Amino acid sequence: MIRGRRAGRTARGGAPRRRGATRDGDRGLELDAVRCAYGEAPVLHGVSLSVAPGEVLCLLGRNGAGKTTTLRAVMGLVRPCAGRIRLDGRDLIGLRPHEIPRLGVAYVPQGRRLFPFLTVEENLRMGLLVQRRDAGTLAWVLELFPALRERLRQRAGTLSGGEQQMVATARALCANPRYLLMDEPTEGLMPAMVQTLAETIRGLRTRRVGVLLVEQKIDVALSVADRVALMEQGRIEHQATPAELAGRADLLVRYLGVARS
Ligand SMILES: Nc1ncnc2c1ncn2[C@@H]1O[C@H](COP(=O)(O)OP(=O)(O)OP(=O)(O)O)[C@@H](O)[C@H]1O
Ligand SMILES: [Mg+2]
């Protein structure tokens, strides 16, 4: 069911348990009434959402809605002025940015941010450093992105944009995360690569990785998401399943400014 207007703000009492969230230590990633500002300018006005293990939540909204800021708040890169962010019940606000990946949250920032002078393999090994055990992880990641095998010795800065995006996603997965935050990972990718990435995201369910995905391509978002959160001006205005949204073109027009054929 599509919740009422500004439903996200009603979740102060804690988000309901989602599919797969069965134990206290398995409660997922939860944001509760998070507020953020850059200097004097408020940007998030009480964002509440949750991602359960193995669930894909897609965050959609127009430019400037606050999607990137939401992900940065989870990663400790911007400090909320109010609200709570919890991982399996543990508070993340106040932790330093390097501590959060160690708890199992990986981040693929908008615009990739690789180390351009390092090789592909060196970039991936930076991801492996986050976790204590790396046995099998690199092999698993290279199975997901076989094209990278031939590029391991190439400097990341010389890869095509699409290849760099693959490396950025692969590097995040090298941390063997329980939650993966991705900010517009399909930006600039050709359709075949978009499909590869979408399949990879769908495949993470079997490893119980929860995904918080910011995505501008609505068809991709609806094809990978278990739930979609529509954000406008720093608030989650609606949450719905893709099937529910398919019948609500009005919402897509209203919050994203697009008509879907
Ligand atoms: N470092 C910053 N300093 C000041 N204002 C910022 C900063 N980063 C973002 N903002 C502002 O905060 C608002 C939300 O930005 P944010 O990057 O979170 O939006 P977004 O939803 O990710 O947009 P897009 O779809 O364009 O990536 C915007 O108005 C932006 O100008
Ligand atoms: Mg953004």
Q: Which atom of ligand 1 is nearest to the CA of 216?
A: 25
Which residue, by CA, sits nearest to atom 4 of ligand 1? 38
Which residue, by CA, sits nearest to atom 6 of ligand 1? 38
**pTM of the predicted structure, to 2 decimals:** 0.87
Q: What is the mean pLDDT of the chain?
A: 86
Answer whether residue 164 shows pLDDT above 80. Answer: yes
Q: Looking at the DSSP assignment, which residues form a beta bridge with residue 236?
A: 231
> Ranked by mean pLDDT, which of 17-26, 125-134, 166-175 comes out on top?
166-175
The DSSP code for 131 is: S
Task: Report, as an integer, the average pLDDT of 67-78.
Answer: 96
Distances (CA, A) of 43 to 28, 142, 231, 235: 24, 38, 12, 9
Percentage of the chain exceeding pLDDT 70: 87
Q: Within the chain, where are the H helices? A: 67-74, 99-102, 120-128, 137-144, 161-174, 191-203, 218-224, 242-246, 249-256
| Cα 110 to ligand 2 centroid, rounded to whole Å | 6
Percentage of the chain exceeding pLDDT 90: 59
Nearest residue to 212 (alpha-carbon basis) of 179, 187, 178, 169: 179
Q: Strands, DSSP E only, in the chain?
A: 29-38, 41-51, 56-61, 82-87, 90-91, 105-108, 179-183, 210-214, 227-232, 235-240
pLDDT at position 36: 97
Answer whether residue 10 shows pLDDT above 50. Answer: no
Answer whether residue 144 shows pLDDT above 80. Answer: yes
CB contact at 8 A, 257 and 64: no
For the chain, the distance separating the N- and C-terminal CA atoms, rounded to the nearest angstrom, is: 22
21: confidence class by pLDDT, cuts 50, 70, 90: very low
| Cα 55 to ligand 2 centroid, rounded to whole Å | 21
pLDDT at position 25: 61
Answer whether residue 6 shows pLDDT above 70. Answer: no
Between 104 and 131, name the one with better pLDDT. 104
Answer whether residue 11 shows pLDDT above 80. Answer: no
Residues with CB under 6 A from ligand 1: 38, 41, 43, 61, 63-69, 110
- What tokens does 238 get? 């609606």
pLDDT at position 214: 96
Q: Which atom of ligand 1 is nearest to the CA of 231?
A: 21
Nearest residue to 65 (alpha-carbon basis) of 215, 212, 233: 233
Which residue, by CA, sits nearest to atom 30 of ligand 1? 64
Task: Report, as an integer, the average pLDDT of 212-240.
Answer: 94
Which of 4-18, 53-67, 209-223 is the least confident region?
Answer: 4-18
CB contact at 8 A, 75 and 105: yes
CB contact at 8 A, 233 and 61: no
| Cα 133 to ligand 1 centroid, rounded to whole Å | 36
Strand pairing report for 41-51 and 90-91: unpaired
